[in-house]
C-alpha cells in the first residue's frame, strides 16, 4: 500500500452520515514506568442474512484497547472510514464531471473509555500483551506517522485464487490491517504477545493478472480514452455511495451479479484504475486466522 506525503483536505461534497470520531481525543503521554494492558477488541459490524446465498456473514470490526495501571483509565483506538463504507468502495457519478468522484479516506480515532458491553456482548475483549509507558509513547508517534501517510481506505483484497499460497494482487487497507500494523509495531518495540487465536474478516475478489489502465487524467482527461471512460462509469453506475450498511450489502450483491455475468471488475487503488479479469469463485467473505506477531528485536519481560 502506497504511502503519501500528506493527507489531502476533504472536499465539502463528501458528507458523512455519522460524524467521524465524535469523541476523539489526542493520544496522552504516558509515564515511562506505567504498565499498560493491551486488549484485542472485535465485534460484528452487522449481522446480515441474504436468503441462502451467502448465509451468515462474519463481517467484524477490529480495534485495540489500552488500560493504564497508574491511572486506571481505559482507551480505545481504531481505524475506520471518514465517510462510511459505501463512499470508500463506490464513487459518485456527478453530473457535469467525466471522472467518478471518490470520497475515500480512512483514519485512526483514539478516545477515552472502552465500551465493554459492545465488545463483550457479541465479540471479543481479550488481553493480548502488556507494555511499558515508554513503548506506548513510541507507538503513539508511529500512529501519527501511519495516519498522515496511509490515507485511503481499501475495501477489497484481490488475489489469484482461494488457495492460501495464491498471489495477492492488491491488499485491503481497513480496520483490521491497522490493528495488525499496531500489534506488529508493539512487537518490534519489544511487546510479547500471548499465544491465542485471532481471526479477521477480508472481502476478497478473485482475478487473473490485473491490467493497469491509468489514472484519472489519462483516462478521463481531454486526451483520455473515451471508450474506457464510458465502460468505467457504466460499471459504477448501479452503486450508490451515500447509503446505510444494509444498502451497501444490496450493492455488494449487484456487484457479484455483474462480475459473474461479465467476468470483469474495475478497481480504483492508490489513485489508479485497474481492470480485473474476474474468475470463479469471484468474491468471498473470509474470516481467517492471522497469528499475533513476534517482534523483530529480542523481547524482554516487563
List, for residues 206-220, the tens digit of each pLDDT value: 999 999 999 999 999
DSSP string, 226-291: HHHHHHHHHHHTT--SS--HHHHHHHHHHHHHHHHHH-EEEEEETTEEEEEEEEEEEEEEEEEE-P
Q: What is residue 54's predicted lDDT score, i.e. its pLDDT?
A: 37
Q: Which runs of consecutive H residues, i.e. helices, occur in 20-111?
A: 84-89
Lowest mean pLDDT: which of 14-23, 103-112, 149-158?
Answer: 14-23
Yes or no: say if 238 and 93 are a contact pair by the CB < 8 Å rule.
no
pLDDT > 90 fraction of the chain, expressed in percent and rounded: 58
Is residue 300 very low, low, confident or very high in pLDDT (cuts 50, 70, 90)? very low
- Listed by start position, the domains of the chain span 35-160+167-199, 211-280
pLDDT interval class at 230 (50, 70, 90): very high
Alpha-carbon span 284 to 286, nearest angstrom: 6
Residue partners of 250: CB distance under 8 A and separation at least 6: none
118-130: average pLDDT = 89
What pTM did the predictor assign? 0.88
Instruction: Point out the residues that are catalytic.
Output: 61, 175
User: For residue 3, what is its C-alpha cell?
Assistant: 504511502
Q: What pLDDT is recorded for position 296?
A: 62
The confidence band for 171, taking pLDDT boundaries of 50, 70 and 90, is: very high
pLDDT band at residue 50 using 50, 70 and 90 as cut-offs:
very low
69-119 pLDDT tens trace: 999 999 999 999 888 777 888 899 988 899 999 999 999 999 999 998 888
For 91, left (φ over 0), alpha (ψ -120 to 50), or beta? beta
Amino acid at each position: 500500500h502506497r504511502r503519501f506525503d500528506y493527507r489531502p483536505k476533504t472536499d465539502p461534497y463528501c458528507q458523512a452520515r455519522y460524524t467521524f470520531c465524535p469523541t476523539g481525543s489526542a493520544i496522552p503521554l504516558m509515564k515511562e514506568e506505567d504498565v499498560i494492558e493491551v486488549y484485542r477488541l472485535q465485534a460484528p459490524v452487522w449481522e446480515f442474512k441474504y436468503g441462502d446465498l451467502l448465509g451468515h456473514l462474519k463481517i467484524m470490526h477490529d480495534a485495540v484497547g489500552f488500560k493504564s495501571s497508574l491511572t486506571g483509565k481505559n482507551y480505545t483506538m481504531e481505524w475506520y472510514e471518514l465517510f462510511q463504507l459505501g463512499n470508500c468502495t463506490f464513487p459518485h457519478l456527478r453530473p457535469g464531471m467525466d471522472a467518478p468522484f471518490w470520497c475515500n479516506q480512512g483514519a485512526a480515532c483514539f478516545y477515552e473509555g472502552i465500551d465493554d458491553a459492545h465488545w463483550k456482548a457479541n465479540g471479543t475483549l481479550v488481553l493480548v500483551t502488556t507494555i511499558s509507558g515508554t513503548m506506548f509513547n513510541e507507538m503513539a508517534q508511529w500512529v501519527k506517522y501511519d495516519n498522515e501517510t496511509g490515507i485511503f481506505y481499501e475495501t477489497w483484497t484481490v488475489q489469484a485464487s482461494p488457495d492460501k499460497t495464491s498471489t495477492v494482487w492488491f491488499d485491503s487497507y481497513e480496520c483490521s490491517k491497522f490493528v495488525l500494523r499496531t500489534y506488529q509495531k508493539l512487537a518490534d518495540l519489544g511487546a510479547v504477545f500471548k499465544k491465542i487465536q485471532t481471526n479477521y474478516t477480508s472481502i476478497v475478489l478473485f482475478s487473473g493478472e490485473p491490467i493497469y489502465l491509468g489514472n484519472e487524467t489519462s483516462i478521463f482527461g481531454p486526451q483520455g480514452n473515451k471508450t474506457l471512460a464510458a465502460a468505467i462509469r457504466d460499471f459504477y453506475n448501479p452503486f450508490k455511495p451515500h447509503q446505510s450498511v444494509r444498502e451497501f450489502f444490496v450493492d455488494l450483491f449487484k456487484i457479484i451479479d455483474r462480475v459473474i455475468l461479465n467476468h470483469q471488475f474495475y478497481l480504483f487503488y492508490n489513485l489508479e484504475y485497474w481492470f480485473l479479469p474476474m474468475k470463479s469463485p469471484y468474491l468471498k467473505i473470509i474470516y481467517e486466522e492471522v497469528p499475533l506477531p513476534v517482534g523483530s528485536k529480542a523481547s524482554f519481560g516487563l
